[in-house]
A and B are shown apart, each in its own frame.
Chain A
């Protein structure tokens, strides 16, 4: 079973700053199966990126995803007030979904 770890657990930044979130898989995976979700307090998660780097409909272009093998990154180029949230990476494989523990991006 592949395990996803995310770092850091919490990222404290100011609006306008760049955020870099990491997702690491316990073994090499295809980037096709890696997605990122955003969850704001009291709301359902929302798909941001699939296939490691393809933005979902409605995802602003300040969000970008990259990576391959075991290491994947979600980058927010300039944080907007609405971007402060929890971000989860997710892997699909063996007919199941696996989520990472999440990274909280909060206001410094």
Chain B
């Protein structure tokens, strides 16, 4: 069955950097887009980035564009999110999700349990 396990969260100072990882199993990585979604404490869901199975295409939310970089290593069945220039408002639980795309539509069909990032001095 599909499993996604995030890691790499923690406490970081404003302006600092952090790299999140998501290890996937139960499906062929190259067959699926993958996304990162975050949820600030007590708030709703915010999609922040996705990447195609071959890494040829990626897109970002305006709130993180230029600061965050999504990447993947299909040989390791892993997805990454490099987060630079972190701000207090980036504090959230970060989820990775398998992203099933077909016929121009995509949906977030499997989610990991999330990793908490706290940006604070």
Give the secondary structure class of B's interface: strand
- Nearest CB of A to B23, in Å: 15
Contacts of B44 in A (CB 8 A): 88, 99-102
The answer to the question of B112 belonging to the interface, with a C-beta cut-off of 8 Å to chain A, is yes
> B59 near A96 (CB under 8 angstroms)?
yes
With most chain A CB atoms within 10 A of its CB, the pick from B95, B107, B108 is B107
Total interface residues on B, using CB and 8 Å?
Answer: 22
Q: How many residues of A contact B (CB 8 A)?
A: 24
Establish whether residues B109 and A56, one from each chain, have CB atoms under 8 Å apart when the complex forms: yes
- Contact mask B16-29 → A, CB, 8 Å, 1/0? 00000000000000
Residue of B nearest to A47 (CB): B109
Given contacts A96-B47, A97-B35, whether A45 and B105 have CB atoms under 8 Å apart is no
Q: Are A44 and B105 in contact (CB under 8 A)?
A: no
A residues neighboring B (CB under 8 Å): 32-33, 35, 37, 39, 43-47, 50-51, 56, 88, 90, 92, 95-102
